[in-house]
Amino acid sequence: MATREATWAYRNEFHEQFARTYFRRFADGLVSSVGAGTYLGDPTDAADDRYHAALVEAFESGVNVVDTAVNYRHQRSERVVGRAVADADVDREALLVATKGGFVPFDGARPDDPAAYVREQFPEHADAFVRGNCIDPGFLGRSLDRSLDNLGLDAVDLYYVHNPETQLEAHDRETVYGMLETAFERLERRAAAGDLRHYGVASWESFRVPEGHESYLSLPEVVRRARAAAESVGNAATSFRAVQLPFNVRMADAFTVAAHEGAEGTQSVLSFAREAGIDVFTSASILQGDLAAGLPDEVAAELAGDTPVQRAINFARSGPGVTSALVGMGSPEHVGENVAAGTHPPLGADAFDAVFE
């Protein structure tokens, strides 16, 4: 797992190449505020090779955060992350490796009959899937085991329950909170056993929509459930540490929508997470490449960067409480541009607020 000593040594090697606040605290270590994502791409050997080259270059250039999931590219993304971690000239303990469980992990390619695959591979959980999503503790435990095998690691630094709001299509909100608490109990036990260090929730909609939205989940309630899970299994403190959610110029709801009750009243998820000590990792930071075509002029004028991609990354990095902005790095041709975003300073708090005025 990532350690304080190794991540600080990594920071000391690279920090002079970057602008202020490029490296940020995560637990007792330091991580880059630009992270490598692995969601996009075809499930092919050629795509694997491009990912491998890109990730090795990223790790050796100042990016020590990598995010994946057991279902990304049908397990291929996890496997190539594992190869890149092993092959890069970087200490494994300097890297924050995050993955997720919750969706069906096809093996290498999509089967002709996905439903039959689920019945054959996960018969005890087949009735618990909602649109390919399952957060039963047993399924998450099996998914974590598979992830560790794919990655070739003894432990992951951060493990997310993946898009639990999907379960709201079949269950009421209180039931889903209960399902999450039960899942968290399993993850608390796995943390105590040393298989993961921290866990959290990766969502698409749940934390950035209004309370009345059909996909809404309360982050304060999720945190309470995590604390209850830790107490239930006898852990002194919860290992719940992070959330992942979309945040970019066109999807700024995590900053603009107040839907979570905190000490200062109803807050945005970014504000609540910052006050609660929950780290935020942003997905869709460049909107899966769409922002490469340009940002709104009034926003672009406020952001530092030589290209639209760099300015988009720096918008995400400027969000209050954001630890790292994840950017797809499936091609070595894009790594240099993505990493160089960190050579420009992010917006200060006042300047960021002014973008929304």
pLDDT tens figures, 301-350: 999 999 999 999 999 999 999 999 999 999 999 999 999 999 999 998 88
The per-residue pLDDT for 132 is 96
Which residue ranges make up each domain of the chain?
A: 4-355
Asked if pLDDT for residue 198 goes beyond 80, the answer is yes
Which token pair is 31? 């991580």
CA quadruple 169, 174, 179, 183: dihedral sign: positive
Architecture of domain 4-355: Alpha-Beta Barrel (3.20)
Residue, of 49 and 355, whose pLDDT is higher: 49
What tens digit of pLDDT does each residue of 253-305 get? 999 999 999 988 999 999 999 999 999 999 999 998 889 888 898 889 999 99
Mean pLDDT in residue range 180-199 = 98
Look at residues 234, 124, 133 and name the one whose alpha carbon lies nearest to residue 185: 234
d(Cα 73, Cα 170) in Å, to the nearest integer?
26
Is-above-0.85 flag for pTM?
yes
pLDDT confidence of 17, banded at 50, 70, 90? very high
Residue recorded with tokens 């002014």: 354
Q: Report yes or no: 147 and 78 within 8 Å, Cβ to Cβ.
A: yes
The number of beta carbons lying within 10 Å of the beta carbon of residue 265 is: 9
Grouping H, G, I as helix, E, B as strand and the rest as coil, residue 9 is helix
What is the average pLDDT value for the chain, to the nearest integer?
A: 96
Q: Is the pLDDT of residue 238 over 90?
A: yes
User: Is the per-residue pLDDT at 357 higher than 80?
Assistant: no
- Structure confidence by residue, pLDDT tens digits, 110-135: 999 999 999 999 999 999 999 999 99
